[in-house]
Structure 1
Amino acid sequence: MARGGQGLARVAVVVRAGAAPLWWCGVLAAGIGVLLPGLTGRRIGVMAGAALFLVAAAAVAYWRRKRYDALVRSAARAGKHDVLQDRAVTLRNWRRGHRWWLLLAFAAALGSSFAVPAAGGMLLAGAGVGLWWKAARLGRLERAGQALIWVRVDWLGPRAGAPVGKPVRAVRATGVAAGDAAPGGARRH
């Protein structure tokens, strides 16, 4: 980077990156799973899956909420030499780094359908919805503070786990017009 600048990725975009793949893997696994009778039967499987969907969505949405809030409150202003990563690049990097985990989760959800039809897929879909909720909440925080929240790219390694994982010690803030993603990480219109 030029003159000490750092690469920065949007926190909300990183959170949102896993939402669509988890949702679609979950929907596909649940759809295939419904076709299998399973050990418990379809009715029990779908009811258990609905409960798992709600629990997973709520748990993922509220996971590390205080850490996100603390980092957003203490965000420092980004420097003029910092390089803001495009939304598409952030999504692509996250999905490439997690593709084997997504494939493994899909296989596990599909395999669980032999015991409890559709439950594993609905669990995955619930995790995806939880990530969308978390990104939407981050968007509300960004709008309220009139600042977009960014994290250093080098702190987002495959072992970091989340944009607020252990390696992340601070986040940066820019104005709401910076970057190509709207508050919450959605595509700008």
Structure 2
Amino acid sequence: MRGPYTLARVAVTVRAAAAWWWWAGVVAALPGLAVTFGPTGRRIGVLSGAALFVVALVVTALARGGRHKARARAASRAAKSVFLQDRRITARAWLRRRRWWLLLAFVLAAASNVALPCAGGMLLGGVGAGLWIRSRRLARIERAADALLWFRPDGDPANYQLTGIAAGDAAPGGGPRRHR
């Protein structure tokens, strides 16, 4: 690709998704703790929610597990003319593109408290926890390759590009970089 273009961190998008899904699940599950009526009751709702949390965590963490590793092997070096997107901007862009889906999932999870208290919120929380595990796996891939994985937000997200480990403002795995 000729000319300057923008790259966003892969791990930052996964980590941003993890945070939003986790907190949406926590907030949606809280009203379920106060529910004392309904067809199932609080105990059944919390136990089924715990089972849904574990299933969502495992499925989200393991689904398409080799995808990032295969794309990292096929990645090319980023050009010197690229602009590296700040992690806050990347997280904000992720939320802006998916806010309505996240809001819909939150409303459905909160509404499910009437029938099965806490279960919908714990399901969303499990998705968030699974995505956080996936971001940790991305950190291991980046450390092993001694390079950071980036993608073009306006292009094909499957085409990863590599930069040195010190590029950008996010550490491997998408967390904030610790300055010493």
User: Into which bin does the TM-score normalised by the smaller protein fall?
Assistant: over 0.9
* Residue in structure 2 matched with residue 101 of structure 1 by the alignment: 101
Q: Which moved more, 1:21-30 or 1:134-143?
A: 21-30
Would the aligned equivalents of 2:12 and 2:87 in 1 still touch at CA under 8 Å?
Answer: yes
Runs of 4+ in 1 over 2 A off after TM superposition: none
Q: Are residues 1:11 and 2:37 paired?
A: no
CA distance in 2, matches of 1:71, 1:31: 38
* Residue in structure 1 matched with residue 30 of structure 2 by the alignment: 31
CA distance in 2, matches of 1:72, 1:47: 39
Cα shift readout 1:9-50 (whole Å, capped 9, x = no counterpart): 000001111111111111111111121233211111000000
CA distance in 2, matches of 1:79, 1:104: 39
Q: Please report how far the alpha carbon of residue 62 of structure 1 lies from its aligned counterpart in structure 2 after TM superposition.
A: 1.3
TM-score, normalised to structure 1, is 0.90
Identity %: 56
CA distance in 1, matches of 2:4, 2:123: 40
Would the aligned equivalents of 2:151 and 2:158 in 1 still touch at CA under 8 Å?
Answer: no
TM-score, normalised to structure 2, is 0.94
State the number of aligned residues: 177
* Residue in structure 1 matched with residue 172 of structure 2 by the alignment: 183
CA distance in 2, matches of 1:10, 1:20: 16
Q: Please report how far the alpha carbon of residue 118 of structure 1 lies from its aligned counterpart in structure 2 after TM superposition.
A: 0.3
* Residue in structure 1 matched with residue 118 of structure 2 by the alignment: 118
* Residue in structure 1 matched with residue 47 of structure 2 by the alignment: 47
CA distance in 2, matches of 1:140, 1:100: 32
Q: 5+ unaligned residues in a row in structure 1: which ranges?
A: 156-166
Cα shift readout 1:95-154 (whole Å, capped 9, x = no counterpart): 111111111111000111111110000000011111110001000110111000000110
Q: 5+ unaligned residues in a row in structure 2: which ranges?
A: none
Letter of the 2:168 counterpart = G
CA RMSD of aligned residues (A): 1.3
* Residue in structure 2 matched with residue 172 of structure 1 by the alignment: 161
